[in-house]
Amino acid sequence: MQVEFHWDSLAEVIRAQINGPANAQDYFDRFRQFLVDNPDLRTAPMLWDLRQLDFASFTPEEVTKLAELRRSLHEFRHDAKSAVLISSALEYIPMMFLKQTAEISDMPLEIFMEEREAMAWLRQSA
């Protein structure tokens, strides 16, 4: 598993590129550290690129853990938008649970298969 976070100054979004098997705890430990290191980006919109994630390793337990960890970031992120980019409709199903928990915590999240659409949504005002 590999996860990389960086600030895309041209698009004005935080980009997360995730490759390999799922590990929700590692993603959020690294993301939390990224936010600690870059406090001015805490409420910036974010694009989670999961097109290279091994969804076969993305168990219901990982989805639940991801949702719990995402809620725990509310103190850092407040109502910052996050877009999840996936590569197939089959990947949409586990992401729906994450989207539902986002709605409960008032942290906007949408799921996309096209980066262009995800970026357009992130640019829209809340």
* The pLDDT of residue 20: 86
Residue 40: band (very low, low, confident or very high) from pLDDT cuts 50, 70, 90: very high
Answer whether residue 95 shows pLDDT above 90.
Answer: no
DSSP character at residue 106: T
15-19, 51-55, 99-103: the lowest-pLDDT one: 99-103
Residue 104: band (very low, low, confident or very high) from pLDDT cuts 50, 70, 90: low
b/e map 94-119, b = 16+ CB within 10 Å:
bbeebbebbeebebbbebbeeeeebb
* The pLDDT of residue 85: 94
Average pLDDT over residues 97-116: 77
Q: How many CB atoms lie within 10 A of CB 76?
A: 16
* Tokens representing residue 114 in the block: 């096209």
Most confident residue range from 78-82, 89-93, 101-105:
78-82
pLDDT 10s digits, 63-87: 777 777 777 777 778 778 989 999 9
In order of their start, the domains of the chain are: 2-123 (3.30.750.24)
